Amino acid sequence: MPEKGRPVQSRRPRPEPERIDVAALYEDEWLLAVDKPPGMVVHPTYRNWSGTLLNGLLWRFRDRPAIEPRIVTRLDKDTSGLVVVALNADVHARIQQDAAKGRIVKEYLAVVHGRPDPRRGAIALPLARSAADRRRVVVDPCGQESETRYEVLSEGPVSVVRCELITGRTHQIRVHLAARGWPILGDRVYGTPDGTLPRQALHAWRVSLPHPVSRDPVALEAPVPDDLRRFFP
């Protein structure tokens, strides 16, 4: 128990600004879109208190105290691509409202083993945390309703698939594709490691949304990174 009169110390340190390069794809006074490289953690966790995208954002806006960056679209550490950042709490709330009403479209590109059949469709499988390992997500009839729409862009021994998130569950695309027998190349958790690719071949490609202030349509896109480009026709 803390001594009487002393404040209780938080176990989680406050994120600090760090000089980390952030590649901006779009920016105005309300909204920022950045291109996250694979290997970068988005938000500090108990294992990664520093070196994250948020630390870099705090550095980017270190001289603008009115800006409070809030990450809207989080990605796994080894997923590359587009991350949308609200620059104040009101903008963050408006984007969350739009997401809840289905006004935001999120598209990913995945390189998978095999040839998905049919070439276009939807995967609707409920997902939940694994009881044996809380870091994993599994298909569970008692889990949360989850849907991923997909379209094959090219096929061969490995295929390129465009995925659209209808719901946004943790590891959703990775688990859904693996459950259908098309695991993502290099996915060490839900597929098999790949000697030529040290991370899962998943890229957050496009986000379309109404601008949180002007309400004009905004289309954002992150270019395919070099380590995945060789798989594309």
Residues belonging to the active site:
76
- CA–CA separation, 201 vs 20, rounded Å? 24
Write the CB contacts of 161 (distance below 8 Å, at least 6 apart in sequence). Answer: 109, 110, 111, 112, 116, 150, 151, 152, 153, 177, 182
- CA–CA separation, 52 vs 54, rounded Å? 5
CA 159, 194, 153: angle at the middle one, nearest 5? 10
Largest Cα–Cα separation, the chain: 67
Is residue 136 within 8 Å of residue 130, measured between CB atoms?
A: yes
Q: How far is CA 52 from CA 47, 48, 171, 198, 216, in A?
A: 11, 7, 19, 19, 31
178: helix, coil or strand?
helix
- CA–CA separation, 146 vs 125, rounded Å? 6
Of 121, 223, 212, 191, nearest to 163 (Cα)?
Answer: 121
Of 141, 207, 200, nearest to 174 (Cα)?
Answer: 200
